[in-house]
């Protein structure tokens, strides 16, 4: 059991003994499918995982670094405000990002991490009026964004019927990740988010296997394949493993 989820797993096992319900460890018999726990409704959680820029302080326009490329028209260092960010934290070219050479901004999604950091972690204090918080706030945003991305994936996984045998473990991972998002700024900065991502990713891989196993007609492994320039029209990729492959628009 991954380190970051071990505490929750122990709690789940205690609850499983009391309820005689599904146990990830296999210590207890699995209930018939009709008695298996249903996935919780994702609607409420999804709403908190959507970016609400009105409640943020332009953190995505300051915290990340980017380089002049097909996605961004300029170079910008991490912690440096984009020149298009206005004093009210709005983007001066929001309605024409692609035309101005910023398609990377047009597709960026913080999964609601911006407002969580601004309104919850730092209690509504913004980095311009409280510049002493700026460096820490930007670091916390980078970590929070990763945690919220995991929350989105876990929430989606809990809506997938083939993943039903993993609902217990997925719920544990989701609850633990949510708990981490409410840590103090100091604790978030110290969090080994890479280790947590690795642990959750292992569970998501198992979920993916269950979902793809139901969809695939035959084993199709295109993971890490070089698909750039390949003509895949008419190719049946249902259930195929495309993790880590190289592809490009055509």
Tally the C-alpha atoms within 13 A of residue 51's C-alpha that lie toward its C-beta: 16
The pLDDT score that the predictor gives to residue 10 is 45
Asked if residue 37 belongs to a domain, the reply is: no
Any domain includes 102: yes
Which has the closest alpha carbon to 11: 153, 171, 232?
Answer: 171
pLDDT tens string 194-217: 999 999 999 999 999 999 888 755
* pLDDT surpassing 90 at residue 41: no
Counting the structural domains of the chain, the total is 1
**Is residue 237, in this structure, part of any structural domain at all?**
no
Cα 151 to Cα 158: distance, rounded to the nearest angstrom? 11
| Domain containing residue 199 | 46-214
Indicate the SS3 state at residue 192. Answer: coil
What is the b/e burial string over 5-39, where b = at least 16 CB atoms within 10 angstroms of the residue's CB?
beebbeebbeebeeeebbbbeeeeeeeeeeeeeeb
- Cβ atoms of residues 28 and 16 within 8 Å: yes
Question: In which residue are the tokens 């510049």 written?
Answer: 131
248 assigned to some structural domain: no
For 111-169, write each residue's pLDDT tens digit. 999 999 999 999 999 999 999 999 999 999 999 999 999 999 999 999 999 999 999 99
Domain assignment present for residue 244? The answer is no
Q: Average pLDDT, whole number, for the chain?
A: 82
Least trusted range by pLDDT, from 24-33, 69-78, 112-121, 184-193: 24-33
Residue 29 falls inside a structural domain: no
On whether residue 78 sits in a domain, the answer given is yes
Asked which of 19-23, 142-146, 163-167, 220-224 is least confident by mean pLDDT, the reply is 19-23
Other beta carbons less than 10 A from residue 156's beta carbon: 16
The per-residue pLDDT for 42 is 60
* Residue 60 covered by a domain: yes
- pLDDT single digits (tens) 54-97: 999 999 999 999 999 999 999 999 999 999 999 999 999 999 99
C-alpha distances in Å from residue 187, one per residue of 46, 160, 221: 25, 33, 40
The pLDDT assigned to 3 comes to: 47
Q: Which helix (H) or strand (E) holds 175?
A: helix 167-181
pLDDT at 46: 81
Q: 């009391």: which residue's tokens?
A: 18
Dist CA 202 CA 152 (whole Å): 16
């Amino acid at each position: 059991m991954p380190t970051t989820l071990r505490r929750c797993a122990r709690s789940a096992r205690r609850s499983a003994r009391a309820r005689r319900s599904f146990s990830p460890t296999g210590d207890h018999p699995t209930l018939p499918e009709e008695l298996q726990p249903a996935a919780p409704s994702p609607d409420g959680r999804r709403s908190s995982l959507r970016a609400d820029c009105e409640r943020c302080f332009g953190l995505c326009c300051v915290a990340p670094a980017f380089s002049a490329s097909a996605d961004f028209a300029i170079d910008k260092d991490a912690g440096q405000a984009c020149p298009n960010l206005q004093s009210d934290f709005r983007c001066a070219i929001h309605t024409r990002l692609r035309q101005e050479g910023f398609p990377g901004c047009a597709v960026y999604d913080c999964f609601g991490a911006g407002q969580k950091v601004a309104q919850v972690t730092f209690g509504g204090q913004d980095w311009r009026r409280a510049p002493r918080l700026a460096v820490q706030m930007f670091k916390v945003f980078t970590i929070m964004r990763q945690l919220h991305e995991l929350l989105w994936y876990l929430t989606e996984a809990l809506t997938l019927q083939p993943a039903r045998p993993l609902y217990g473990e997925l719920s544990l991972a989701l609850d633990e990740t949510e708990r981490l998002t409410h840590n103090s700024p100091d604790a978030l900065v110290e969090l080994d988010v890479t280790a947590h991502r690795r642990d959750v990713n292992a569970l998501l891989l198992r979920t993916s296997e269950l979902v793809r196993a139901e969809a695939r007609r035959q084993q199709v492994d295109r993971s890490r394949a070089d698909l750039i320039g390949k003509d895949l029209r008419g190719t049946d990729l249902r259930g195929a493993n495309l993790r880590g492959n190289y592809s490009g628009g055509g």
